[in-house]
Chains A and B, each alone.
Chain A
């Protein structure tokens, strides 16, 4: 079974619009970690956020915000007032304590911000 589902394969929005990237995960562990990474065209993955399963508090960092809801097993990522530089592939990931914290990535969402 797929552990991390990013249903949106590709999204295009016009600059300055808000956009939300969805992430649904599946785990039986009570202790787990969720991540978001950004992969720009240069290839390297850039860490955005880590959230542990005991902390459902939403987080805001500048134009980025994350909504973690255990009830729906979702960890969605919103970019407010998008910019062209936000264009990239975004990956949601999960690691489970029972699996030695091996990180499992979703398939990614390719985000195009149009000028």
Chain B
């Protein structure tokens, strides 16, 4: 079966712009989580959605937001981009809420803010 698909794979944006990243989970999976990976901070949890509801959220400013649609696809949005937002953004899907479930990750979207 198809894995987790993240689009686009690469993105270059200018400071102050906004960006939307997309994640299509594995068919049948209802939970989608987002992570930011940077060399300095490592992998940091952004938020998790389960059945269209945000289940929990990491310590990121309000410029980072997300949503999940009825088909479980998820988007995350970053507004007013800053240079420090340059990172690899990873999406993970699982059957149920993460934590006690195996999570499958996509290849990520590499965002560069210039």
Which residues of A approach B to under 8 Å, CB–CB? 33, 37, 42-47, 50, 52, 91, 95-97, 99-108
Contact = CB atoms under 8 A, between A and B. Distances in A.
A106 to B, nearest CB: 7
B20 interface: no
B27 to A, nearest CB: 17
A103 B94 CA distance: 13
Contacts of B55: 100
A44 B58 contact: no
A75 to B, nearest CB: 15
Contacts, number: 66
A101 B90 contact: no
Interface string B75-108: 0000000000000101010000111111111111
Contacts of B43: 91, 105, 108
Given A95-B100, A108-B42, A108-B43, A102 B56 contact: yes
B35 to A, nearest CB: 8
Contacts of B24: none
The 5 A-B residue pairs with the shortest CB-CB distance in the complex, in nearest-first order: A101-B99, A95-B99, A105-B43, A45-B105, A100-B56
Interface residues of B, number: 27
B98 A101 contact: yes
Contacts of B104: 47
Contacts of B48: 100, 102
Given A33-B99, A44-B106, A97-B99, A102 B58 contact: yes
B45 interface: yes
Contacts of A37: 105
A43 B104 CA distance: 12
A44 B105 contact: yes
Contacts of B74: none
B76 to A, nearest CB: 16
Contacts of B56: 99-102
